[in-house]
Structure 1
Amino acid sequence: MAVKRAPSKKPRPVEGRKPKKNPLFAAKIEHVDYKDINLLRTFISDRGKIRSRRVTGLTPQQQRQVAVAVKNAREMALLPFTSR
């Protein structure tokens, strides 16, 4: 019994899409500090979730630094855990 499959669709060419600019490189920030609340708020959604690398344009090392800093700031009550 042969299974009929639909012909595979070719992926669309990605035209005009620019890579995200790294906000930490633009601001010349080498280390993310948990006390810098204004910077950390740029990496948090309105619901209080940490935004992904794909959205923020950070490197993997910077994303880990941001995640640790956000978690520390939440523990120190500088940032809310959730936003209603």
Structure 2
Amino acid sequence: MIMNDNKMKQCHFCLANAKEIDYKDIESLKLFLDGHARIIKHKKSAVCSRHQRKLSTAIKRARFMALLPFVQG
């Protein structure tokens, strides 16, 4: 979910009124990873700082549980 610079940026999770970000929801977490399986910065992904912290925690948990790769090459 990469936003262009000319569009107005709004948090995807705030708009969806999401309380928690589930580490088992792999398809939504993959939207916030780049081609090398690195976490996209909040300026590119248009996620607020609160949800960026929760998102990075969920991605790290999914990596530890072997649901997401650490690196992709």
TM range (shorter): 0.7 to 0.9
Please give the residue correspondences for 1:11-26 in structure 2 after superposition, counting only pairs within 5 Å: 17-26=6-15
Deviations 1:52-84 (A, max 9, x none): 000111111100000000000000000000111
- Report 1 or 2 for greater relative contact order, CA contacts < 8 Å, sequence distance ≥ 6: 2
Which residues of structure 2 form unaligned runs of 5+? 1-5
TM-score (ref. length: structure 1):
0.73
* Equivalent residue in structure 2 for 1:63, among 52, 60, 66: 52
Report the number of matched residues.
68
* Equivalent residue in structure 2 for 1:32, among 21, 29, 41: 21
Other structure's SS at 1:72 match: helix
Amino acid at match of 2:8: P
* Equivalent residue in structure 2 for 1:75, among 61, 64, 73: 64
Identity fraction in percent = 34
What is the rounded CA distance, in whole Å, between the counterparts of 1:56 and 1:29 in structure 2?
Answer: 16
Larger Rg: 1
